[in-house]
Amino acid sequence: MENTMQLDQPKPTLSMNPKKFALWLFIVTVVMVFAALTSAYIVKQSEGNWLDFELPSAFFISSVIIVLSSIALHWSYYAARKDNLFGLKAGLILSLTLGLLFLVAQYISWVQLVERNVYFVGNPSGSFIYVFTGLHGAHLVSGLIFIFVIIYKAFRLKIHSRSLTSFEMCLTYWHFLGALWLYLYIFMMINH
């Protein structure tokens, strides 16, 4: 009798919000793109004819900025969990501002590359740096749009302790972008 009761009970399933699942699929796709690019970089570098140059100092500044932006966004998330509207809004605005500063620092890094005679066209070592930073920057712009959407929702009181799914997705994506930049920066430091 006990065995039949166990058979009648449905087995628990693993479930995930479909939007979160789609986000994770997108993140996996981006990881694969950058893994392919960094692999191509290593292969191309081994062929020789590689221009050695000092990485722009703005890359380090960018790294600090993106970490601070992630911290601000996480602080904002904790504020949302506690229904602290001031902390929620302040953290979001700070994170957005730091994200914009990151893009400014990336632009400055391109200026520094040009001052070192490293261009997009020419030696592949320079081309890869521009592709890495440009592609990451494009993804970062999408992250900034996501943060802006969350800010809009926060000011309309749609982000709070009982409604955090979209914010959690934004947080996941933003932390991913920060981790991706740190990976790229370390990769470029080791392999330039």
What does the domain layout of the chain look like in residue ranges?
A: 54-191
For residue 49, the model assigns a pLDDT of 80
pLDDT at 13: 66
Beta bridge partners of 163: 160
CATH of domain 54-191: 1.20.120.80
Q: Which of 180, 149, 141 is nearest to 167 (CA)?
A: 149
- pLDDT digit string (tens) for 120-143? 888 888 899 999 999 999 999 999
Q: In which residue ranges of the chain is pLDDT below 70?
A: 1-8, 11-14
Distance CA(111)–CA(58), nearest Å, equals: 10
Q: How many residues does this entry show for the chain?
A: 192
- pLDDT of res. 166: 95
Q: What percent of the chain has pLDDT over 70?
A: 93
Q: How far apart are CA 21 and CA 11, in angstroms?
A: 21
What does the pLDDT read at residue 113? 94
